[in-house]
């Protein structure tokens, strides 16, 4: 799509969950006119009471008059439901506007949406995020992007309102594929940390002391720094839920089959998360892999 140098002053944000709500809030705080839609209307009303802006009955209505529309919903089907059809955002967007999808979804969906957007002369960027709810609240998310350079260049100044690292990786779908790499790496790290803490306890070691030492060496990681304490306390209400991680790992494994990549550890950890779900832990955070070992 050709470059459009119009200033992006009006934004629509679709999906006001634990991630979308603070992300949209940062846009309002930055002075953008923000129009919102959420499937649960009460949440949209509460958002407007806190941040201002306006809430709308359908995604299409929210998108009308917006220079940029941003989405953060659940999965591929959710994205399609708020993007396509008579009530979808594309029905309300004007030529030259820009659509950004923050949902962690499939690369195939990103390419599908890019085609649909292009047919209406709308730009598209797939831009999944990492950093969790706290990262969204603090405005320090990592945002990995795919799409035309011109579309990315227009979107990036808006994304920096809640992104500490915003980078275009490649063409459409590259953002989603990079998010898959992110989730693959997290799965292995959390399982390794869980096994390490389990082993330390069985060996009679002071686990806090162990982590204090090894976190300063080659074993250190974000997961270790931010999750070991709650894991030791058997607290699993801090961050990304197991149900969502299984959704993401399913996307990773499907893409791996398509491109003939081998992910044995990821496949194994996915099954470990299935075990956690059987323990009624679907809403526990992803560090609950330790609870599976300690049960």
Q: Which of 179, 216, 233, 278 does the annotation list as catalytic?
A: 179
Dihedral over alpha carbons 32, 35, 40, 45 (to 10 degrees): 70
What are the helix (H) ranges across the chain?
Answer: 20-29, 41-51, 59-63, 76-83, 89-92, 107-118, 132-138, 149-159, 174-202, 207-214, 222-232, 242-259, 264-278, 289-294
Dihedral over alpha carbons 281, 282, 286, 291 (to 10 degrees): 10
CA-to-CA distance for 172 and 112, rounded, in angstroms?
10
Q: Is 167 a catalytic residue?
A: no
CA-to-CA distance for 96 and 205, rounded, in angstroms?
61
Question: Burial, 27: exposed, middle or buried (Cβ in 10 Å; 0-12, 13-18, 19+)?
Answer: buried
CA-to-CA distance for 242 and 232, rounded, in angstroms?
18
**Residue with tokens 């070991």, as numbered in its chain:** 228
CA-to-CA distance for 25 and 41, rounded, in angstroms?
17
Start-to-end CA span in the chain (Å): 54
Residues 6+ positions from 45 with CB-CB distance below 8 Å: 55
228: which 2 tokens? Answer: 């070991």
Question: Are the CB atoms for 37 and 47 separated by under 8 Å?
Answer: no
- Active-site residues, by number, are 179
């Amino acid at each position: 799509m050709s470059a459009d140098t119009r200033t992006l002053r009006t934004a629509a944000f679709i999906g006001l969950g634990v991630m979308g709500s603070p992300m949209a809030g940062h846009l309002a705080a930055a002075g953008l006119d923000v129009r919102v839609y959420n499937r649960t209307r009460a949440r949209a009303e509460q958002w407007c009471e806190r941040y201002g802006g306006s809430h709308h009955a359908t995604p299409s209505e929210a998108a009308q008059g917006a220079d940029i529309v941003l989405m953060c919903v659940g999965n591929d089907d959710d994205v399609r439901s708020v993007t396509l059809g008579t009530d979808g955002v594309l029905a309300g967007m004007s030529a030259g506007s820009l659509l950004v999808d923050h949902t962690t979804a499939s690369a195939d969906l990103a390419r599908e949406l890019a085609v649909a957007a292009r047919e209406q002369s709308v730009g598209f960027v797939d831009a999944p995020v990492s950093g969790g709810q706290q990262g969204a609240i603090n405005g320090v998310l990592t945002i990995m992007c795919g799409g035309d350079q011109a579309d990315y260049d227009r979107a990036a100044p808006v994304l920096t309102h809640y992104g500490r690292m915003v980078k275009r990786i490649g063409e459409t779908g590259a953002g989603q594929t990079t998010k898959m790499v992110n989730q693959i790496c997290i799965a292995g790290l959390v399982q390794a940390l869980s096994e390490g803490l389990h082993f330390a306890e069985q060996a009679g070691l002071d686990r806090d002391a162990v982590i204090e030492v090894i976190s300063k060496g080659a074993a250190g990681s974000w997961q270790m720094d931010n999750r070991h304490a709650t894991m030791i306390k058997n607290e699993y209400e801090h961050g990304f839920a197991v149900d969502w991680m299984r959704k993401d790992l399913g996307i990773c494994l499907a893409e791996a089959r398509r491109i003939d990549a081998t992910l044995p550890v990821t496949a194994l950890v996915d099954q470990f998360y299935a075990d956690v779900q059987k323990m009624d832990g679907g809403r526990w955070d992803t560090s609950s892999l330790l609870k599976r070992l300690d049960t």
